[in-house]
């Protein structure tokens, strides 16, 4: 439906955040016509807090966004909530001065798959190769996980007792996590927990 819609308010807009806000508000309004649910606020941090689902809208040109940093363990055990990701290509029609958001992919990512790909793969490789807590601590510190040595030791113990599931995000360290979605786009529908709801090709 959105791919067919012509929107004048987005014509000439280059700010991805403005596009994201537009689609998030429109999607919530569409859902509210059909369902009762609690819509998220900036205070709750995610769009559908009762469902533990956050909505992300991103351009195919640079499929990424940011999310609140809570703790370093998110990079190992996931964000703590699921994601629904809308990937668009924005097309401006100069003659009509309108924009069409061509929705290329809609992907649902289960919460337990929202950890960092390289971090979870590295930790699980260490465990499979009979590594111990010291090996895991060294790996986390080598990867610049934002933890002190005490927190690293606690995480290493938790990881030994409860190895993480393979995550598929690329999470860059910053004041906020920077989330990269290319792997989701390429693997959606092929991996457990990555559901390919819609794609154009």
CA distance 69 to 173: 9
pLDDT of residue 37: 86
pLDDT of residue 41: 65
Please give the structure tokens belonging to residue 25: 């508000």
Give pLDDT < 50 ranges for the chain: none
pLDDT of residue 185: 87
119-131: pLDDT as tens digits: 999 999 999 999 9
pLDDT of residue 48: 92
CB 167 within 8 A of CB 117: yes
The domain spans of the chain are 2-70+79-114+171-199, 117-166
What is the side-by-side order of every strand in the sheet holding 82-93? Answer: 53-59, 82-93, 98-109, 194-199
Q: Which residues pair with 80 in a beta bridge?
A: none
Q: Which residues pair with 103 in a beta bridge?
A: 88
- Residue 60, classed as helix, strand or coil, is coil
pLDDT of residue 53: 94
pLDDT of residue 42: 58
């Amino acid at each position: 439906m959105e791919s067919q819609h012509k929107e004048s308010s987005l014509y000439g807009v280059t700010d991805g955040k403005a596009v994201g806000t537009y689609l998030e508000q429109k999607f919530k309004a569409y859902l509210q016509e059909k369902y009762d649910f609690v819509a998220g606020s900036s205070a709750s941090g995610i769009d559908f807090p009762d469902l533990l689902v956050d909505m992300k809208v991103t351009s195919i040109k640079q499929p990424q966004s940011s999310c609140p940093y809570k703790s370093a363990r998110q990079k190992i055990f996931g964000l703590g909530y699921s994601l629904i990701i809308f990937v668009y290509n924005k097309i401006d029609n100069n003659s009509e001065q309108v924009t069409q958001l061509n929705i290329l992919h809609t992907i649902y990512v289960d919460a337990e798959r929202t950890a960092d790909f390289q971090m979870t793969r590295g930790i699980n490789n260490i465990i499979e190769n009979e590594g111990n807590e010291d090996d895991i601590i060294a790996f986390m510190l080598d990867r610049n996980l934002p933890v002190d040595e005490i927190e690293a030791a606690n995480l290493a113990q938790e990881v030994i007792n409860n190895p993480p599931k393979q995550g598929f995000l690329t999470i860059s360290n910053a004041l906020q996590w920077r989330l990269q979605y290319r792997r989701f786009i390429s693997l959606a529908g092929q991996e457990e927990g990555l559901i390919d709801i819609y794609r154009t090709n």
